[in-house]
Structure 1
Amino acid sequence: MLVLAIDTATPAVTAGLVALTDDGVEQRAARVAVDARKHAELLMPLVLQACADAAVVLRDVEAVVVGAGPGPFTGLRVGMVTAAALGDALEIPVHGVCSLDAIAADSPRGEPLLVVTDARRREVYWAAYDADGRRVDGPHVEAPAALAERAGGYVVAGGMAGVLDGPVVGPDAPSPAGLVTAAAAALRSGAPAPLEPLYLRRPDAVEPAGRKRVTTG
């Protein structure tokens, strides 16, 4: 199965083509650009560049996997909306996966792991994994100091791994292969994982409380 994998939950805008087989995953192409303010401008060009690198066209893709966060509202929704639109246009399933799970999938096994990414507002998103890579806690959002108080004994991955004292063993952001690995069971079963963004908190923008009264003289 040929899978398009995308993620916009971190400052890294990621797109790639991955072949899923009975034996595992094979990353065919990957394009990554790091810019926390240009997810919308960068994502589709990266998708098309990855397709060209893999010598395929979008019609060859059989499924889409998208990182569902947690991530900042504006950047995350770019990936989610793009994935949904591509799935609808190509008439293929779209699978949402926790972006932290994809980073964990790219990290070495054998020790308890924390994946920590930037939540802005002086906070981090995090999730904990056991030595076999299974998520056992999270995802959550909180201040780094609060997480550091109970982070002993873990190795660390993710873009904010440096805020903790544990050894850094994994990548800053999800790879296409990591995203597909995290979604592999759902892809093979044919049952799409829910396409629900993990914002973990409300957006900054709020709807006005009421309309201003307009009077005429």
Structure 2
Amino acid sequence: MLLLAVDTATPAVTVALHDGTATVAESSQVDARRHGELLLPAVDRVLAEAGLALDAVTGIVVGIGPGPYTGLRVGLMTADTFGLALDVPVHGVCTLDGLAYAAEGIEGPFVVATDARRKEVYWARYADPRTRVTEAAVDRPADIAEAVAGLPAVGAGALLYPETFTDPRGPQHVSAAALAALAAEKLAAGEELPEPRPLYLRRPDAQVPKNYKVVTPK
């Protein structure tokens, strides 16, 4: 097994290779505006570090969000393209699950929260690093304060709103290494992974104006 994992659902552009047992190579850069520029060079860099060619990959893992439309689609389209070109399966993993899986030293219930912009967070509750107990959602922090009160919180969203998330923990952004390790664990156990389809949870920022006038040729 050799999994190539990518995620662009958060400001981190993250790539990793995983052989089913351990991470072979990884790269992460935080830049919310350059997902499209940074992703493919990161893939090349990780393959070069591992001394492997792209055709050695036996499966693709991609973070499916939730995340902003523009960034999220970069990773998903790249994963789909690699899957088609290499004729290998493409597995989706919830980005929040990857963050939860990477959380260290948290034994009891906790929350994962990432920045959803518009003064909102993408979030979910977890019983432990491998078990999500709520669906991923997008909300204003003040609206979920009661639901997350007193719980440790992982992710950059928790740091942005300390009045709601009173016990922030690391990591801030998802790593492709964690996504790949979680996917490898689930695949080895015979579990099904989600389809590589985006969890947008809301409409994109760019929309056609309501009073848009359609001009047709005469």
Q: Same fold (TM over 0.5)?
A: yes
Give the equivalent residue in structure 2 for 1:110: 107
Tell me, yes or no, if the aligned pair for 1:94 and 1:192 is still in contact at 8 Å.
no
Map 1:1-217 onto structure 2 (within 5 A). Answer: 1-21=1-21, 26-108=22-104, 109-131=106-128, 133-162=130-159, 163=161, 164-184=164-184, 186-188=186-188, 189=190, 193-207=194-208, 211-213=214-216
Q: Name the aligned partner's letter for residue 203 of structure 2.
A: R
For structure 2, the 5+ residue unaligned runs are: none
Matched residues in 1 for 2:129 and 2:37: separation? Answer: 37
1:108-137 deviations in whole A, cap 9, x for unaligned? 341111000010111110010003631001
Q: Name the aligned partner's letter for residue 147 of structure 1.
A: I
Matched residues in 2 for 1:207 and 1:143: separation? Answer: 25
Tell me, yes or no, if the aligned pair for 1:10 and 1:71 is still in contact at 8 Å.
yes
* SS of residue paired to 1:85: helix
Misfit runs of 4+, over 6 Å: none
Tell me, yes or no, if the aligned pair for 2:18 and 2:181 is still in contact at 8 Å.
no
Give 1:213 deviation, angstroms: 4.8
Number of aligned positions between the proteins: 211
Matched residues in 1 for 2:112 and 2:15: separation? Answer: 20
Matched residues in 1 for 2:171 and 2:42: separation? Answer: 20
The share of aligned pairs that are identical, in percent, is: 46
Cα distance, 1:132–1:76 mapped onto 2, change above 3 Å = closer
Give 1:201 deviation, angstroms: 0.4
* SS of residue paired to 2:115: strand
For structure 1, the 5+ residue unaligned runs are: none
Matched residues in 2 for 1:171 and 1:203: separation? Answer: 26
Matched residues in 1 for 2:132 and 2:76: separation? Answer: 22
Give 1:2 deviation, angstroms: 1.0
Matched residues in 1 for 2:4 and 2:62: separation? Answer: 8
Cα distance, 1:132–1:172 mapped onto 2, change above 3 Å = closer
